[in-house]
Chains A and B, each alone.
Chain A
Amino acid sequence: MKASFDDAVLDTLFPGLGAIPPASRAGLDATAVLTRHGAMLTAIAAAAGGEDAFVAADPGTRTVLVETAGTAEPAAFQALVLAVSALYHASAPVVEAYGWVARAPQPRGFAVGAPADVAEAAQLLEKVRARRQIWRA
């Protein structure tokens, strides 16, 4: 039951939406994170009356149960959420579902700006230049 309980918690924290996959299908290796935050998972199971009961609950009920456990231990819950969030939002399927490229920033970098920007900025700056001095001596 442990694996499906873990998946149920992950998917309650980060369910899918449209093209965005739920956490259990985003290719995460969450074992270390879930072990580190095991106490919070135990609290979530306890709120449900056991892991099986949590897995058997519908998504709305799971959300309420997670919320209940999280409200009782806000710091531990926040830590769990942020740790899973970092894994989830850095995973390639999720990054791509959000419309971004899942590649290293280097060595290619990114193009920024359009050729017309320089001329438009220069034109806007003429007005600013015309103010001559706005600093106090």
Chain B
Amino acid sequence: MSVKRLEPVDVVVVGAGLGAAAFTRHLAEEAPSLSIVVLERGGWVDRAALPAYQADFQRDVLGPYATSPNVRLAAGGIAPSADYAIDDSQSDFKPLMWSGVGGSTINWAAHFPRFHPSDFRTRTLDGVGDDWPFTYADLEPFYDLNDARFGIAGLAGDPAYPPKPQRPMPPIALGRLGMTAARGFDRLGWHWWPVDSAINSRVHDGRPACNHCGPCQQGCVTGAKASTDMTHWPQVIARGVEMRTGAVVLQVEIAAGRVSGVTYRTAEGDVFQPAGTVVVAGNGVGTARLLLASGVTAPALGRNLMYHGAGYVRGFFAEDLDGPVGPTGCSIYSHEFYETDRSRGFVRGVHLQATRENPLAVQAARLARPWGEEAHAALLREFRRSMAILVVNEDLPEPENHVALTGETAADGLPGVKVVYRLSDHSRRALDFGLDRAEEMLRAAGAVETVRVPLAPFTGWHLLGTARMGTDPATSVTDGSGRVHGVSGLIVADGSLFTTSAAVNPGSTIGAVATKVADDLARAVA
């Protein structure tokens, strides 16, 4: 097949997800003379076609709009996400994502916590993981910039964090569920705070306030939830950046230790886009897949996959809570047990988060025995009366947990990809501790019964660490500016950069790090 050759540009960005958007927005503002092209395998979402406008939306939640690309593909792949199959048969958690403009911010929950300062120094403080090549203080200005670009609803003054700027919107309504959880934490004297969320609680930045419809993880039809197809890409395109959708990058072209551009596939054929700098932001699976396919040989590439250990305890209450409404992940959280306390038998910590109820069909699918009269009895007991406390622990980087190529060519033209991941003893201990605390809290909040889910497979929301930052090329893939060791002009700007995972959702930190990476590049080319 002949490959069409295009005119060279300064920068090609692969992917249009969270990291890519934060990176490109900052670079386009700081280095406006650069010519930049973005290549995204998927397309733009049509909000009017998302499930929340349909009465039977619940079927889509479990099928074509499930959070897992494999489940969506099995349901016929009709969602506007250009999914690729991932062999996750050897992984305790199943990778979840969206492949289109906006990346996984299309179906994320938009809970927007920062890392703690200690998260950047785990080796120094606790003798595990590795220190990042920069500190919280170094990243702080980029957190602030990134917050402003996403638009945050939250409350200043949280003692779990160094001071953060005043949030432009108050927190999302806690609801009966959040208030019940708050009283539980309060009775125990534990820390709790309303979450920072990238969801409008008021009209903000030309987008409406959330009306608590519920299915955020199938895409937000109102636009109240920030996703980079609204918060970043239109602004970036207005600055002259070119976005090409339906463009699957097959290869980063590298010769004599420097990039020359990328080859990508479109419906019309294969194209070579020459570029001085190639920035890969395909997420912890997609980036590792592309760089491995491109012959990048860094020993740490694809290794140290971190999802975060996740399990939860469900509490059933005698009185009604809110039912399946409100932004799923955005209510309140506790960092009472976030920092290391060696007396617990493990280092690092856990994040506890009150999560809202799911639609009836999703709750039903999670029953221990999901059929027969017993299923009705169980569902009647819990529907509208349940709250799950999600326990997330800091997953430590382990080389055995990895992304690899399968050796076969996949339907999209790239090599097939698999994930291999086993929950470590460290994570098991931390999760068990967190589950005990969650149970204690739910009882204090008035739950009449609790059910433990020690490991929740469909929580592979966070795909981190497979092209990690560091100073040693033997154990890291990039330096602290996202530049791949030994390949001039090749940069990574997404969640795969994470040196360690902390115990909180990564979106805010991915955005801040990608902004810093762009800032470093802008300074280098100035």
A positions within 8 Å CB-CB of B: 12-15, 17, 20, 63, 66, 81-82, 85-92, 94-95, 98-100, 102-114, 117-118, 120-121, 124-125, 127-129, 131-137
Question: 8 smallest A-B Cβ distances: which pairs?
Answer: A109-B211, A113-B173, A105-B213, A89-B361, A90-B58, A110-B325, A17-B376, A112-B175
Which of the segments B232-240, B264-272, B363-371, B484-492 contacts the partner chain?
B363-371
Q: A112-B326, A132-B159, A134-B160 are in contact. Are A86 and B58 (CB under 8 A)?
A: yes
> Closest CB of chain A to B335's CB: distance in Å?
7
Bound-state CA distance A86–B370 (Å) is: 11
- Any A CB within 8 A of the CB of B18: no
Bound-state CA distance A103–B183 (Å) is: 32
29 contacts between A and B (CB under 8 A): A13-B372, A14-B376, A66-B371, A82-B62, A85-B364, A86-B62, A92-B55, A98-B383, A100-B323, A105-B213, A107-B211, A109-B211, A110-B211, A110-B322, A112-B212, A117-B179, A120-B179, A121-B182, A125-B155, A125-B193, A127-B186, A128-B193, A133-B159, A134-B335, A134-B336, A135-B118, A135-B160, A135-B338, A137-B117
Bound-state CA distance A89–B375 (Å) is: 11
Contact B179 A98 (CB under 8 A): no
Q: Which of B62, B324, B338 has the most CB of A within 10 A?
A: B62
Determine the residue in chain B with the shortest Cβ distance to A67.
B372
Task: Tally A-B pairs: CB < 8 A.
Answer: 171
Query: A85 — which chain B residues lie within 8 A by C-beta?
Result: 361, 364-365, 370-371, 375
User: Chain B contact residues: over half helix, strand or loop, or mixed?
Assistant: loop
B positions within 8 Å CB-CB of A: 52-59, 62-63, 116-118, 125, 155, 157-162, 170, 173-176, 178-179, 182-183, 186, 189, 191-194, 210-215, 221-222, 322-326, 335-336, 338-340, 359-361, 364-365, 370-373, 375-377, 379-380, 383-384
Bound-state CA distance A99–B391 (Å) is: 29
Bound-state CA distance A108–B174 (Å) is: 19
Determine the residue in chain A with the shortest Cβ distance to B331.
A112
Bound-state CA distance A131–B191 (Å) is: 9
Determine the residue in chain A with the shortest Cβ distance to B186.
A124
> Closest CB of chain A to B298's CB: distance in Å?
32
Contact B55 A100 (CB under 8 A): no
Query: A98 — which chain B residues lie within 8 A by C-beta?
Result: 360, 379-380, 383-384
Determine the residue in chain B with the shortest Cβ distance to A137.
B117
> Closest CB of chain B to A59's CB: distance in Å?
9
Bound-state CA distance A17–B58 (Å) is: 22
> Closest CB of chain A to B375's CB: distance in Å?
7
Bound-state CA distance A83–B194 (Å) is: 36
